[in-house]
Chains A and B, each alone.
Chain A
Amino acid sequence: MPYTLLTDEELFAMVRDQNDEQAFRALFKRYDKRVYAYCLRALGSHDDAQDVFQTIQLTVYDKRASFNDGSFAAWLFTIARNFCLKTLRGRKHNVEITDEVVTVEPEDTHSSDFLLRQALHKAIGQLPDEFREALSMKYFDDLPYEDIAAALDITVALAKVRVFRAKKLIQQTMSTIIDELR
């Protein structure tokens, strides 16, 4: 069966209704790195990311009966976000993107793009949480606005506004270096 041709929702239905192990594996591989990266960005350490990632994946399976319609990606990232927030609340402090999370390829270290990327990562780390979260979902998790809105429990219009304002804040922060390197 060509699992690659099936949608996320079709694969998940096969997992939920038929206990199809191969469908699960196909679906897992579509999202494992994105969800892990999301956890890592949110929590800032591999140890925490691994703990939460495991909890998320088990929860998705254990709660499979509660997913009936809508976007699987939005549902998955809603669960991921809830567990990340719960972990962050437990810590009672915010975590910014760290060097552990962002690893830039060494061959780029002398290019102007490297400086721009460093500035970009720093600017992202300085964003308010709600803007950084929406921006990360859009650009790093590759989610459409509809799924971002569903995961964050906001309107699509507000998701667009948050992403734009995040980019605007980044542009303002990076304005000097962009001009210098132009």
Chain B
Amino acid sequence: MTNHELLAGFLDRSLSEDQLLEFEARQLADPAFAHEVKEMLTVERLLQQEPPRVDYPVGFLATIESNIAAKVAVGAAGGGLLGFLAHNAWTWIVGSTAAAAISGGALYFATRDSEPAPQTPVQERIQSAPARPTLEEPLPAQTPTAEAPIAATPSVTPVPSADRPITIDAKTTAPDPVLKQLIVEYEQCNTTNDHVRCAQYSLLLGRRFRSDGNTSEARQYLESAIRHAQTVRLVDYEMDAHGELGLLAKSRGDLDGATRSFERAIDIGRTHKRSVVRWTQELESLQQ
């Protein structure tokens, strides 16, 4: 082996015992080599102790993390959330039918209230895990209950600070278990200032209320979605929430409001190089 091969092996700690002895012998025999080894050890020490210090843009890194985490969650929602919605609706239908057929609604409801359904392994994992569950994981099955429908009009409290939760006192007038579960999820993430999830849930809720014709609730949630999305710079959600507000205004016959909202959605989308086809088409349909 050459001196440099021995030196490289020594620095990488890959020399055998015999090679180490050879390495030592060569240093004794060659003072210039010994000097070179000392200097290389100094360089090695400096490299190992002193990586360049970087002023990390912590906020930027957190924003990127949140943005992509949202994509991951939406990826789950692509199949998972639809599956989740379908699953819950199906559970509701099956549960209602079975209960009515076997023992009547009241007995069924009473039983369900007193005996919680056994947990699936996934549900157990969700409850035991310290982290938040992902949208992909099925939420506990919803069954209709005899409890009175929660009736109220949602109200949004303006948020003075981005760190404070956006409070929506929203309760649905319909005994819709999916809607109720979404509201529960929204309130949970709101208490922990998880703006990514809040943006997702409030947008979903806004869409849902809009399609149900609950204009006021839809507007409140869509405006919340915009605020959450702005807080964590979720451009796609912000754009879509404006677009949904446009659809809402359109359904009320407020064409000026719809135009403004569609234009805002398109503006956001174009600024951040997102597809604005849908909102452009909606805007064009208004103008025709």
Pick the interface stretch among A20-28, A70-78, A85-93: A20-28
B132 interface residue (CB < 8 Å to A)? yes
Is A25 in contact with B69, judged by CB distance below 8 angstroms? Answer: yes
Pair A101/B54 contact, Cβ less than 8 Å: yes
Q: Is the CB of B46 within 8 A of A164?
A: no
Residue in chain B with minimal CB distance to A29: B65
Give the complex CA separation of A102 and B51 in angstroms.
Answer: 9
Q: Given the complex, which residues of A lie within 8 Å of B61, measured CB to CB?
A: 32-33, 36, 53
Q: How far is the CB of A95 from chain B (nearest CB, A)?
A: 14
Residue count of chain B within 8 Å CB distance of chain A: 41
Of B19-27, B37-45, B183-191, which stretch is located at the interface? B37-45
A interface secondary structure, majority: helix
Contact (A171, B46) CB under 8 Å given A19-B76, A160-B12, A164-B8? no
B98 within 8 A of A: no
Contact between chains at B69 and A164 (CB < 8 Å): no
Inside 8 A of A175's CB, which chain B residues have their CB? 39
CB distance from A58 to the nearest CB of B (A): 7
* Among A21, A104, A178, contact of B73 (Cβ-Cβ < 8 Å): A21
CA distance A135 to B73 in the complex (A): 37
Q: Is the CB of B80 within 8 A of A19?
A: yes
Query: A37 an interface residue at 8 Å Cβ cutoff?
Result: yes
Q: How far is the CA of A165 from the CA of B22 in the complex (A)?
A: 21
Is A116 in the interface zone, CB < 8 Å from B? yes
Closest 5 CB pairs of A and B: A19-B76, A164-B8, A19-B75, A102-B52, A22-B131
List A residues at the B interface (Cβ < 8 Å). 1, 3, 15, 18-22, 24-25, 28-29, 32-33, 36-37, 40-41, 46, 50, 53-54, 57-58, 61, 97, 101-105, 113, 116-117, 120-121, 135, 139-140, 160-161, 164, 167-168, 170-171, 174-175, 178-179
